[in-house]
Amino acid sequence: MKRYLICALFAVAMLLMSAPAKAQFTIDRVEAKKESINFTTADTLKQTTADMSYFSRARYRAERAAIRKERNTLEITSGLQGTLTSYNDPWVDVSGGDNSIAVVANLYLYHKFTKNLFSVETKFEGKFGYNRMKVEMPMYDTSGEPMVDEAGNAIMDRSGVWFKNQDEFAVQISPSWKMSKNWSYGATFKFRTQIANGYVSRTEQERKDLKSSFMTPGYLDLSVGLKYACPSKKFPIKVDLSPLALSAVYANNSWIRREQHDAEGNRIKKAFNYGIEDPDKSSKYEGGSSIQLDFDRTFGKSGYLRYRTTLFSFWGWITNLGLDNKVKRWDDYHAALKEWDGNIKTKPRLPIHPTVRWENTIDIKATKFLTTSLSFQLYYNRAQNSSIQTKTLLSVGLSYTFKNK
């Protein structure tokens, strides 16, 4: 019986295994299981080297160039003017005339550096010119006697002689610190002298005729005070007011500064001391006040006309206070001078008068490279000459101006 029951259960089990199985599940709600996760972060970052290919040199240079252009204002003007006149002998025999050459070169430089409230201006101006003309000078033999022809007429040398007509260069440096829109305070340094030797005339160019050279004379002006700049572009005037100023004159060449005599005691050259009365001294310093006015304007859209002027005046009132043997009246001075014993320490002296220097330049541009220039200078210094000195120059020639703005 048991055996039949086991066989029946085995048969049912085999039947169930051979039939396909099906099941269905229904999920009504699933709850998320809450779990906590612990993690840590690093306190430091990993260091890596920067590649230089990320730095643009072209951009850096462009930015630096823009900054330099903004802070710096530069102007350079150079010019060369000249004239040539030539005649042949038949023309001279009929109409007369002298062959001549005149050449004048000039250079003007202006630079201004500005950073925040500080600025410094630098000016340089140089002029140098020579002319050559045919002059008649007597010829001498080996013994020093004038040479004559068979008729007894003096034999003349009609060769050309070079003689300078322009020789001056000046430097001015003016640092300043801006206080307001139009006012600032600062200082001014000015130096002026010449380069080549100067002689009495074109026919007298020996050593005994020497009257000027480098640093004979030389001028130095130092001043401290207030500066005013007019904001109007139509009237760009600048005024320097210096309550404290120093003016110096130099004459380093003792041969020029002193009176020269020959072995027999005859005077062969008078003294050119340029206001330095003591022959043992090569410089003179005076203290006082100064004022300077500058005007520089260009007219027209193309800048065909430009006018520049500078008026400078110095008065040595501080030196006047301590001046010995001072005589105020001109007549009293001449009377005291006649009674003077020759000792330089006791020489009567007139009070120091204000010196005045007025420079004007007008440039008219016909083209970019052709310019007509007219310059006029007025100078008064009673210590050197009681009369007013003037100089006028009109020239036409080549000129070129460079500006970075």
Residue 276 — very low, low, confident or very high, per pLDDT cuts 50/70/90?
Answer: very high
Place of tokens 């010829």: 139
pTM over 0.85: no
Mean pLDDT within 222-240: 95
pLDDT in tens, 118-152: 999 999 999 999 998 877 777 778 877 888 887 77
pLDDT (average), residues 48-75: 79
- Per-residue pLDDT of 352-405, as tens digits, reads 999 999 999 999 998 989 999 999 999 999 988 889 999 998 888 999 999 988
Q: How far apart are CA 49 and CA 299, in angstroms?
A: 59
What is residue 5's predicted lDDT score, i.e. its pLDDT?
A: 58
What's the average model confidence in pLDDT over 3-10? 59
Two tokens, residue 277 = 């009365």
310 vs 61, residue with greater confidence: 310
pLDDT at 211 over 90: yes
Helices (H), 147-280: 254-257
* Closest alpha carbon to 290 in 361, 239, 249: 239
Averaged confidence pLDDT in the chain = 86
Cis upstream peptide for 348 (omega within 30°): no
Chain-centroid distance of CA 59 in Å reads 32
Whose CA is closest to 130, among 219, 197, 78, 212? 197
Burial (0-12, 13-18, 19+ Cβ within 10 Å), 272: buried
More confident residue, 189 or 38: 189
Place of tokens 């139009």: 182
Neighbours of 75 (CB within 10 A): 15
Decide if pLDDT at 349 tops 70: yes
